[in-house]
Amino acid sequence: MTALCTALPERLSLLLVDDHRIFLDGLALALGPLCPDLRIQTAQTAAEAEQCLQHGSFDLILLDLRLPDMPGLELLQRWQRQGLPTPVAILSGSDSSQDAQAALAAGALGFIPKSADSEDLRQAVTRVLLGEVLPMPQTTERPHLTPRQREILLLLAEGLPNKAISRRLGLSEDTVKTHLKALFQELDVHTRTACVSAARQRGWL
């Protein structure tokens, strides 16, 4: 981490916005090694964050998506409309790829999961401070599928037709079709090929 930090200035000012005080304290401790003179201010609501911005300037804002008085995404969009020059990265407990995409589309420079360890967190923050846009995090979304639907999805990926799937699993073709319909709805697709492709994109196959 030392080599990475040498590119940062000796003095940095960060604003951490999260409604959990214990998390804020731990975050401040984890970010301590970033530079010799690290100044951290914290806010637990959108209103407190706005007050901090009125009275000071920051090198980076780490913003949670879940705030008690306003969604973090809405706050980020407001800052973008106001032309806030301070870079913003989202630090969230959400593991939704949709949340990550929405945050990046709204102007965030990165989406950092709260599950990141201290080293990964400091590296991600350093990259944002150096002007990088962090890539989309790997999705951890898990399929809401029954064990039978997972079996059918795997056989579908092998290219088996309904009749072969029904024989392999000892099911009627109508039952297989019912499970396929549920899979199509879950993945929002209309064909077998699209079903397999969407499942692979989500990491289900």
pLDDT tens per residue, range 128-165: 999 888 877 655 455 578 889 989 999 999 999 999 99
CATH of 147-201, one of 1.10.10.10, 3.40.630.10, 3.30.450.20, 2.70.98.40: 1.10.10.10
- The answer to whether the beta carbons of residues 27 and 52 sit under 8 Å apart is no
The residues, ordered by sequence, that sit 6+ positions from 166 with a Cβ below 8 Å of its Cβ are 172, 173, 175, 176
Instruction: Using the predicted structure, report yes or no on whether residue 96 has a pLDDT greater than 90.
Output: no
What pTM, to 2 d.p., does this model score?
A: 0.65
Instruction: Using the predicted structure, report yes or no on whether residue 198 has a pLDDT greater than 60.
Output: yes
Helix extents (H) in 32-169: 46-55, 72-82, 97-105, 118-129, 147-157, 162-169
Topology agreement, domain 2-129 and domain 147-201: no
Domain ranges of the chain: 2-129, 147-201
Sheet strand arrangement including 37-43: 37-43, 11-17, 60-63, 88-92, 111-113
pLDDT for 95:
67
Superfamily for the 2-129 domain: Response regulator (3.40.50.2300)
**201 vs 198: CA distance, rounded Å:** 5
Instruction: Using the predicted structure, report yes or no on whether residue 6 has a pLDDT greater than 60.
Output: no
pLDDT for 2:
41
